[in-house]
Amino acid sequence: MNIATLAKDKDPMGAAIHDYFTKGRAGKLQVFSSQFDEDEIPVKTLFRSMSDMPLLEQKALQLATGKILDVGGGSGCHTLALQEMGKDACAIDISPLSVEAMKARGVKDARLANLFAPTFTETFDTVLMLMNGSGIIGKLSNMPQFFIKMKQLLNPGGAIFLDSSDLKYLFEDEDGSFLIDLAGDYYGEIDFQMKYKHVEGDTFDWLYIDFQTLSLYAAEYGFEAEQIEEGEHYNYLAKLTLKA
Ligand code: SAH
């Protein structure tokens, strides 16, 4: 599992966020994967305000209480919305250019840090992982490390809110049945690489997880999973609470 932060010349999303913030517009943020066709992230969506956010995200922000950690803050959209609601939030990101942009946009506590770094120790009441936030876990095999880290970071009674899509729709046949190779790797394990202008990032793992699989792992590590809200496209918001 990677515990580092990114070098500025390997930070394409940060470069796009930085451009959009300083110039009011940005070029193409391209996304490549060995499993999918080339795609693009509209940089503007990374700057969404509360009213532009999907309901799932709005719900997570409403339910967040106490000292809040926004993991992978990006442009700071969620932390800024939390600050406007009068809540106490800290954003971390491995992208140095995103952290610079967050600070310049008024995020009071934005830090360059990797969630999994042993040096990142502090406690919170709510941990937010939004915009397919399960992705940051990377692979199913990282679940033990993820939950161990969460146990260290969460205050008693604390909770994690994370959203994900269940990628099973990609394997749906015309008759509605699902063709999933159960002997292969878990179908939500995706590799991505991003590019913005001349800045190319390294390939990274991103985990999409279905609610049932998430619940099974959560239970194994002493957490209770609850599906708070269902989205419009096989996506959902989950709340994971550490069992007393
Ligand atoms: N939450 C933001 C950004 C989502 S993109 C939004 O909804 O708009 C995911 C972000 O997570 C990126 O900015 C990426 O740099 C950051 N990230 C990825 N792995 C991370 C890790 N291990 N620790 C902290 N941040 C991470």
List the chain domain ranges: 52-188+206-242
Residue 128 Cβ inside 6 Å of ligand 1? The answer reads no
Residue 115 Cβ inside 6 Å of ligand 1? The answer reads yes
Per the CB < 8 A criterion, the answer to whether 69 and 43 are in contact is: no
Residue 132 Cβ inside 6 Å of ligand 1? The answer reads no
Q: Whose alpha carbon is nearest atom 13 of ligand 1?
A: 74
Q: Does the pLDDT at position 176 exceed 80?
A: no
CA-to-CA distance for 198 and 108, rounded, in angstroms? 31
Classify strands 88-93 and 235-242 as parallel, antiparallel or unpaired.
unpaired
Whole-structure pTM over 0.95, yes or no?
Answer: yes
For residue range 68-79, what is the model confidence (pLDDT) as tens digits?
Answer: 999 999 999 999
CA-to-CA distance for 156 and 241, rounded, in angstroms? 9
CA-to-CA distance for 232 and 205, rounded, in angstroms? 25
Residue 74 Cβ inside 6 Å of ligand 1? The answer reads yes
Residue 101 Cβ inside 6 Å of ligand 1? The answer reads no
How far apart are the CA of 179 and the centre of ligand 1, in A?
31
For residue range 93-135, what is the model confidence (pLDDT) as tens digits?
Answer: 999 999 999 999 999 999 999 999 999 999 999 999 999 999 9
How far apart are the CA of 123 and the centre of ligand 1, in A?
19
Q: Which of 96, 93, 52, 240 is nearest to 154 (CA)?
A: 240
CATH superfamily of 52-188+206-242: Vaccinia Virus protein VP39 (3.40.50.150)
pLDDT band for 239, please (50, 70, 90 cuts).
very high
How far apart are the CA of 138 and the centre of ligand 1, in A?
12
Q: Does the pLDDT at position 230 exceed 90?
A: yes
How far apart are the CA of 130 and the centre of ligand 1, in A?
9
How far apart are the CA of 45 and the centre of ligand 1, in A?
14
pLDDT band for 181, please (50, 70, 90 cuts).
confident
Q: Whose alpha carbon is nearest atom 3 of ligand 1?
A: 74
Residues 12-37: what's their mean pLDDT? 97
CA-to-CA distance for 34 and 205, rounded, in angstroms? 11
